[in-house]
Amino acid sequence: MELQVTKRLNECNPEDYKLLYIPGGLAPGALRQIPEAIHFVQEFAKSGNLIGAVCHGPQLLASAGLVKGRNMTFWHEVANEITEAGGVYVNEPMVEDGQFITARKPGDLPMELSRVFEHLQGK
C-alpha cells in the first residue's frame, strides 16, 4: 500500500503546524534526498515548535543541520552518522533537548508520545 499525496511540501507553510514528527524506518533516508523536505524541516525548526523523531528519524535532522550539540536518542545503526553530524547519543528510551524529543525504536513510542502530548498541552 502506498501513501497518497494530499499536499505537496512546497504547498505547506511550516508556521501552520505545532508539531513536526519524523518517523523511522526507510522514510528519513528517502526524505533527506528531497530538497523541499530539508528546507521544510529547517524552516520548521526556526519556529521553535516541537520536533519529534523515532528510530532513523534523526537522519533527516542531521541532513538539515539540526543535530549539532543536541542530546538525542535513535536507532543504534545510525549512531555514527548522527554523532559525526555533531549529535550527542544518549542510549535511553526517550530524550528531550529543547524543541527535540527523540526515541530509539517503536517500543519506546509510548513514552515519547506521552511526552509529546504533554508538551502540546503546555505541561
Catalytic residues: 55
Pairing label, strands 19-22, 50-54? parallel
Gap between the Cα atoms of 104 and 1, Å rounded: 26
C-alpha distance from residue 40 to each of 36, 49, 85, 103 (Å):
6, 13, 19, 21
Residue located via cell numbers 547519543: 89
Task: Look at the block and give the residue holding cell 524552516.
Answer: 43
β-bridge pairing 94-97 and 100-103 = antiparallel
Length of the chain: 123
